[in-house]
Amino acid sequence: MKEINVLVTGAAGQIGYALLPRLASGETFGSDVLVNLRLVEIPQVVEKLTGTIMELEDCGFNTLGKVEAFSDIYEASKDVDWALLVGSIPRGITINGKKIEERGDLLKINGGIFTDQGKAIGENGKKDAKILVVGNPANTNALIGMIHANNSNQTWMAMTALDANRAKAQVAIKLNVAISEINQMIIWGNHSPTMYPDLENANINGKSVASLINDNDWIKNDFLETVQQRGKAIIDARGASSAASAANAAIETVKATLSPTEDGDCFSAAVISDGSYDIPKGIIYGFPLKTTTDGKIQIIQGLEINSYAKEKLEITTKELLEEKEAISEII
Ligand code: NDP
């Protein structure tokens, strides 16, 4: 059996709990791949992972390999093929008597975590490792990690697939169509309320979703706000942030990189900008992506961006440039 080493940080958290069985079950990497899991947690909670490991054993998956718990990211990163970086410090937490509310403070605190994680994965991970950052602020955390990994053969991504799924769900309800009929749902920019879900380029049987909906007011107001604020709406309703859907999006992102993307479709994730679509180089930005037949991840080129979309792309670009400025001391 082929073996794969998968590292998950924040493994004792909510998303981790929903994610781990699906990584180990064969659903993600296939029924012929043995998945070794490296579960990473901060020292204060690493003990909790003993329970997680027992549960994973009790699932009885044929595809579960060795499962280990770590609080040392350098040790955990040895020969990893995949790293799912879920753990990060949430807004509102009190550290040394100070409540962390400002995005700038949050960026710096998480910056320290992702500096180490980047170095560890860059030094110890497989040459062609893929890294998906889920922990927020995900795009900028991924940028910090990527810079400190300093390993150009590795691929760093930040998750925007949940935003794409949220957008698809709203379209499916509006048009009364199946989710599977909706293709090329792109989330441009930052995984934050400035993201831009693009209904002009999304299509059903090759027809633009925006033209099928034919209701600009709904698209520019109800739809946009519902997708951008969905995370908060779930917290308000559930009393906790989305975990099952976030884990699902992480699994879908991994799977999207494992087989070629069909023509006319894409998958959504944020990667380092190479200047495509006039987005400044050097920020991790949500683009339409495809996996090629030889397994490469590429930005899909040549899509049309109308003037309304351009304005939205500029807003989310500005936010990402400001985030980059806020962490300029550590990159
Ligand atoms: P969750 O597992 O619910 O969330 C983890 C991260 O994912 C947070 O940054 C959160 O951002 C983000 N996230 C949550 N929902 C979504 C979503 N819908 N889409 C995209 N991102 C999302 O948090 P828990 O508090 O349950 O668990 C976090 C764990 O991480 C803890 O066990 C903690 O100990 C651990 N941790 C581990 C570290 C490490 O391994 N080095 C470092 C820091 C923490 P947001 O806050 O914006 O919701």
Check pocket membership of 112 for ligand 1, CB cut-off 6 A. Answer: no
Q: Which of 7, 15, 248, 252 to mutate to test the pocket of ligand 1 (most atoms within 8 A of CB)?
A: 15
Write out the E strands in 48-150: 64-70, 82-85, 94-95, 98-99, 130-133
Distance of CA 85 from the midpoint of ligand 1 (Å): 9
Rounded-to-10 torsion of CA 87, 195, 111, 77:
50
Q: Note if the pTM is more than 0.95.
A: yes
Give the DSSP H or E segment for 157. Answer: strand 155-159
Q: Give start-end residues of each CATH 3.40.50.720 domain in the chain.
A: 2-158
- Confidence (pLDDT) at 300: 98
Check pocket membership of 109 for ligand 1, CB cut-off 6 A. Answer: no
Residue 176: what are its φ and ψ, rounded to 5°? Answer: 55, 50
* Nearest ligand 1 atom, CA 40: 40
* Nearest ligand 1 atom, CA 10: 30
Q: How far apart are CA 150 and CA 274, in angstroms?
A: 16
Check pocket membership of 162 for ligand 1, CB cut-off 6 A. Answer: yes
Q: How far apart are CA 85 and CA 116, in angstroms?
A: 12
Check pocket membership of 283 for ligand 1, CB cut-off 6 A. Answer: no
Give the DSSP H or E segment for 156. Answer: strand 155-159
Check pocket membership of 268 for ligand 1, CB cut-off 6 A. Answer: no
DSSP 3-state of 128: coil
Check pocket membership of 88 for ligand 1, CB cut-off 6 A. Answer: yes
* Nearest ligand 1 atom, CA 240: 3
Question: CATH number of the domain at 161-330, out of 2.30.29.30, 1.10.10.10, 3.90.110.10, 3.40.50.1820?
Answer: 3.90.110.10
Atom 12, ligand 1: residue with shortest CA distance: 135
Q: For domain 2-158, give the CATH number.
A: 3.40.50.720
Q: Give start-end residues of each CATH 3.90.110.10 domain in the chain.
A: 161-330
> Tell me, what amino acid is at 139?
N
Distance of CA 309 from the midpoint of ligand 1 (Å): 30
- Confidence (pLDDT) at 103: 75
Distance of CA 162 from the midpoint of ligand 1 (Å): 14
Token readout for 158 is: 């930040």
Q: Supply the Cα-derived Rg of the chain in whole angstroms.
A: 19
Check pocket membership of 298 for ligand 1, CB cut-off 6 A. Answer: no
> Tell me, what amino acid is at 40?
V
Supply the residues annotated as catalytic.
191
Distance of CA 302 from the midpoint of ligand 1 (Å): 35
- Confidence (pLDDT) at 156: 98
Report mean pLDDT in 10-residue bins for the chain, 331 residues: 98 97 98 98 97 98 98 98 95 81 84 96 98 96 98 97 98 98 98 96 98 98 94 93 96 98 97 98 98 97 97 98 94 90
- Confidence (pLDDT) at 41: 98
